[in-house]
Every structure is written in structure tokens, then in C-alpha cells.
């Protein structure tokens, strides 16, 4: 099992289900066992490894990761209010 570190605490990884969205400020991204680990202030999410380059460009931004039809859709959240 992969364990991620979030704010100096070890946390279990969350695996998104269909129609589930993970959202928050992306703190860091790393690879572990072929998976992309996205770390947020509230915890960490395991995503497909091919998403790492796109997520790495978004570190420090507010992002949303939606799982829809078995695919992951990544976007920057803008205009929160």
C-alpha cells in the first residue's frame, strides 16, 4: 500500500470512484509504484501515472480532478466566489 505525506503526517491515499471529484490547492505531486500521487491540504489522491506532467504544472493552484466514464478530467478552478 502506498502511503503519502501531507503536512508532515502520513495519510492513506484516496482512490476516486466514478463521478467523484477531488478539489483543493495542489501542494505537491510525486510518483509512486506507477501512480501519480496528488497531495492536497486535506489528504492525498492516487491518480493514473500519465497525469503527473499535467498536475506538476498546476502545483500551488486550486485544482479539481473529476472521474467520469472511467477517465480523469483535470482543471484549474478559477473565479471561486
* 81 within domain boundaries: no
Cα separation, 4 vs 11, in Å, equals 6
Percent pLDDT > 70 in the chain is: 84
Mean pLDDT for all residues in the chain? 87
Give the per-residue pLDDT at 14: 86
> Taking the CA of residue 39 as centre, how many other CA atoms within 13 Å lie in the half-sphere pointing to its CB?
17
Structural domain boundaries, residue 62: 3-76
User: How many domains are there within the chain?
Assistant: 1
* 35 within domain boundaries: yes
Amino acid at each position: 500500500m502506498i502511503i503519502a505525506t501531507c503536512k508532515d503526517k502520513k495519510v492513506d491515499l484516496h482512490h476516486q470512484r466514478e463521478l467523484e471529484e477531488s478539489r483543493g490547492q495542489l501542494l505537491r505531486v510525486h510518483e509512486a509504484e506507477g501512480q501519480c500521487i496528488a497531495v492536497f491540504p486535506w489528504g492525498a489522491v492516487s491518480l493514473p501515472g500519465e497525469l503527473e506532467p499535467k498536475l506538476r504544472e498546476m502545483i500551488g493552484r486550486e485544482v479539481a480532478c473529476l472521474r467520469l466514464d472511467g477517465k480523469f478530467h483535470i482543471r484549474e478552478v478559477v473565479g471561486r466566489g
